[in-house]
Amino acid sequence: MNVRLKRARELAGYAVQLTKDEGLPTMLKRGAGFVKRRCFGKRARYLPAKKVLEAQRAEMADKTAADCGLPTISILTPLYNTPEKYLREFLDSFVNQTAPNGQLCLADASDAEHADVKRIVEEYQTKNQRIVYKKIENKGIAANTNAAAELATGEYLALADHDDILAPHAMYTMGKAILQLRAQGEPDGFLYSDEALFSKSIQRPMVAHFKPDYAPDYLLCCNYICHLAVFQKALWDEIGGERPECDGSQDHDLFLRLVEKTGGAAHVPQVLYYWRVHAGSTSGGTDAKPYVAAAAKKALADHLARTGRTGTVEDGLFPSTYRVKWDIVGDPKVSILIPNKDHTDDLEKCLHSIWTKTSWENFEVIVIENNSTEPATFTYYKEARQRYDGLQVVNYPQKGFNFSGINNFGRQYASGDYLLLLNNDVEVRNADWLTELLRQCAHPGGAAICGAELLYPDETLQHAGVVTGLGGYAGHSHKYRKAGGSGYMFRAATVQDFSAVTGACLLVKTSVWDEVGGLDEAFAVAFNDVDFCLRVRDAGYRIAWTPYAQLTHYESKSRGGDEKDPVKARRFAAEQQRLYAVHGKANILHDPYYNPNLTMDREDFSESNDLRGLKEGRITVQWRGDASPSQAH
């Protein structure tokens, strides 16, 4: 089905359901709001409403950094031949903050021909005593940033470039977020916000970077944190500031060293920083600064060495992205569990691709026969066992289709260190698929679960990770996008942290499977994989997805669609409600690896049509941690 048509039908269905549940007036009101936001709400769409900013200013009226109640944040900004227009806009953005808890530390390495930089700064110092300035020798971005840090007196530090713009509520929001973390008893050493790109005015932003909560696997693939990052000065001092040997990726290197100390980071889903796009800016891509990639790979390799993990760091699938090829510890055995009912053509394609393409040799395959009715199926099993060395076929004793029960039964026959749940309607595409899944798990500090990239036969994405809350329950990241694209902020082309992955191809440590009790058999058909992954996530493990393991998925050939069969539709609805009952509706609708400013109506990571959280200046902060390699399960 055409994707646009599919979305239109889904939206129409939502309108009909809303009318039934809450009446026509509510539906019309929401519809009008949708049209208003969609068609007329683009200007300043990431900024809080004027009344929100005015309320913040009123709260902080006549207060100073010393008595405003917020921790002081010293912003570190190296200056170098900064164009006057850019410099004034940047300085204005600091002077016009809604709270006085900021300090601006400027280290000026401009050459003699750009003496105006100093003059302009001195002009602004007469307006704001919280601007401190020092003329320095140019020794590179990291050294110049370190020079700015020597001027800092705040409890916290932040990084800002000389040609960018701070959102007016940046210092207020980050200060309040730090207080929230303290009140909740959570670590307050390292926070970051969302950001937006602009070319001329922040009133007309080009696009926002709506980030997930702390995602350690993602951070190894690209510096998704960027701006605005805020961290304790004591931590900065402890790790020695930025490293000149990583100039070009000095911030990425800094963030990796910070999380080694903090064990995680806190995310504030507010756009607090505007990144200017112009020639020479890294926001426009790494072509402007070709040394960035070499510096990033050094930063990543050094991070691996410091954390006692081994692997090689390589370029990723796109510029600005990287890939850690983890060294697999030992020679783990993988037990591949494949439920099957008839459909021997599909199964043969699946088995043939496993045996002929898979480079990882230490595996076993267990086909779980589930109530096949065609005699030819059992003839096929006998013949297949002769052709595929070690193939097991075990008979599920219960009637009907229960994906959870079938796989739980198959686990009894598995001897592997890992279990791989695999649909019978998939076909292996690349030889390293199983190796790549293992790479994410079979090393110190690895994930407990890893999912693969599944493609439809027409070369569009079927699965690139599962996001809970999409469509109200769960959906597939970047579904229907053409294969080979980067996705949103490279999220379809880098190893990712997710709350869940599909059970159509899911690798899990056998010990973790046993620890959480396998699949919940009350989820017979739908959401069993989502429920399982959430239980694993909530037990303190990580779920990863990799684009380097690829399979073709001939989805739903085995069972057909559930939408038109009333019995199947009722079962599906019951399993939807069970997902809420077990995990809580609020928990399902807030996936930590999906930003609340992204749409819940589609699977394409597009911007939400409802940005009320931004307009209201709503301050929420979520800290997430990750077990260090020595503490990992």
Q: What is the C-alpha to C-alpha distance for residues 546 and 69, in angstroms, rounded to an integer?
A: 44
In a domain, 80, yes or no: yes
Identify whether residues 169 and 107 lie together within a single domain. yes
What's the rounded mean pLDDT across residues 380-393?
A: 96
| Residue-wise burial string across 512-533, b where 16 or more C-beta atoms lie within 10 A, e elsewhere | bbeebebbbbbbbbbbbbbbbb
**pLDDT at residue 288, rounded to an integer:** 43
What's the rounded mean pLDDT across residues 603-608?
A: 93
**pLDDT at residue 630, rounded to an integer:** 31
**pLDDT at residue 28, rounded to an integer:** 78
Q: What is the C-alpha to C-alpha distance for residues 131 and 74, in angstroms, rounded to an integer?
A: 10
**pLDDT at residue 633, rounded to an integer:** 31
Residue ranges making up the domain that contains 17: 3-40
**pLDDT at residue 204, rounded to an integer:** 94
Quick: pLDDT tens for 64-89: 999 999 999 999 999 999 999 999 99
Quick: pLDDT tens for 266-312: 999 999 999 999 765 554 454 546 788 999 999 999 999 999 999 99
**pLDDT at residue 628, rounded to an integer:** 34
Cα–Cα distances (Å) from 433 to 427, 440, 494, 616, in that order, read 11, 12, 15, 46
3-state SS string for 7-74 = HHHHHHHHHHHHHHHHCHHHHHHHHHHHHHHHHHCCCCCCCCCHHHHHHHHHHCCCCCCCCCCCCCEE
Instruction: Kindly report the CATH number assigned to the domain that includes residue 233.
Output: 3.90.550.10
Residue 300 contacts residue 224 (beta carbons within 8 Å)? no
In a domain, 136, yes or no: yes
CB within 8 A of 345, min separation 6: which ones?
none
Cα–Cα distances (Å) from 212 to 293, 396, 626, in that order, read 23, 40, 14
**pLDDT at residue 282, rounded to an integer:** 54
Identify whether residues 19 and 129 lie together within a single domain. no
In a domain, 320, yes or no: no
**pLDDT at residue 5, rounded to an integer:** 59
Quick: pLDDT tens for 551-572: 999 975 344 455 567 888 888 8
CB within 8 A of 436, min separation 6: which ones?
452, 546, 548, 549
| Residue-wise burial string across 114-125, b where 16 or more C-beta atoms lie within 10 A, e elsewhere | beebeebbeebb
Torsion, Cα 560 564 568 572, to 10 degrees, reads 100
Residue 497 has pLDDT above 50, yes or no: yes
Residue 248 has pLDDT above 90, yes or no: yes
Which has more pLDDT, 620 or 22? 620
Cα–Cα distances (Å) from 187 to 95, 191, 194, 623, in that order, read 29, 10, 19, 7
- Residue 206 CA, chain-centre distance (Å), reads 21
Identify whether residues 467 and 379 lie together within a single domain. yes
In a domain, 329, yes or no: no
**pLDDT at residue 127, rounded to an integer:** 85
**pLDDT at residue 562, rounded to an integer:** 54
**pLDDT at residue 8, rounded to an integer:** 61
**pLDDT at residue 565, rounded to an integer:** 76
Q: What is the C-alpha to C-alpha distance for residues 423 and 431, in angstroms, rounded to an integer?
A: 18
For the entire predicted model, the pTM comes to 0.90
Quick: pLDDT tens for 5-33: 555 665 676 677 767 767 787 777 666 65
Identify whether residues 367 and 283 lie together within a single domain. no
Identify whether residues 338 and 404 lie together within a single domain. yes
Quick: pLDDT tens for 156-190: 999 999 999 999 999 999 999 999 999 999 999 99
**pLDDT at residue 289, rounded to an integer:** 61
Where does the pLDDT of residue 220 fall: very low under 50, low under 70, confident under 90, or very high at 90 and above? very high
In a domain, 617, yes or no: no
Quick: pLDDT tens for 315-348: 999 999 999 999 999 999 999 999 999 999 999 9
Residue 36 has pLDDT above 90, yes or no: no
Instruction: Kindly report the CATH number assigned to the domain that includes residue 539.
Output: 3.90.550.60
Q: What is the C-alpha to C-alpha distance for residues 406 and 370, in angstroms, rounded to an integer?
A: 8
In a domain, 93, yes or no: yes
Identify whether residues 36 and 184 lie together within a single domain. no
Identify whether residues 300 and 366 lie together within a single domain. no
Quick: pLDDT tens for 87-112: 999 999 999 999 999 999 999 999 99
Identify whether residues 28 and 92 lie together within a single domain. no
Q: Which residues pair with 468 in a beta bridge?
A: 474
Please provide the DSSP assignment of 280-334 as one string. Answer: T-GGG-GGG-TTHHHHHHHHHHHHHHHTT--EEEEE-SSTT-EEEEEPPPS---E
In a domain, 298, yes or no: yes
In a domain, 477, yes or no: yes
Tokens of 211: 């980030």
Identify whether residues 373 and 503 lie together within a single domain. yes
What's the rounded mean pLDDT across residues 580-599?
A: 95
Tokens of 422: 């695999």
Residue 467 has pLDDT above 90, yes or no: yes
Identify whether residues 123 and 272 lie together within a single domain. yes
pLDDT mean across residues, the chain: 91
Total of domains in the chain: 3
Identify whether residues 145 and 87 lie together within a single domain. yes
**pLDDT at residue 569, rounded to an integer:** 85
Q: What is the C-alpha to C-alpha distance for residues 519 and 128, in angstroms, rounded to an integer?
A: 61
What's the rounded mean pLDDT across residues 441-459?
A: 96
Residue 407 has pLDDT above 60, yes or no: yes
Tokens of 328: 């697999």
Which has more pLDDT, 605 or 285? 605
Taking alpha carbons only, the member of 483, 475, 496 closest to residue 606 is 475
Identify whether residues 252 and 138 lie together within a single domain. yes
Euclidean distance between the first and the last CA atom of the chain, given in angstroms as a whole number: 43
Q: Which residues pair with 133 in a beta bridge?
A: 106
What percent of the chain lies above the pLDDT cut of 70?
Answer: 91
- Residue 20 CA, chain-centre distance (Å), reads 35
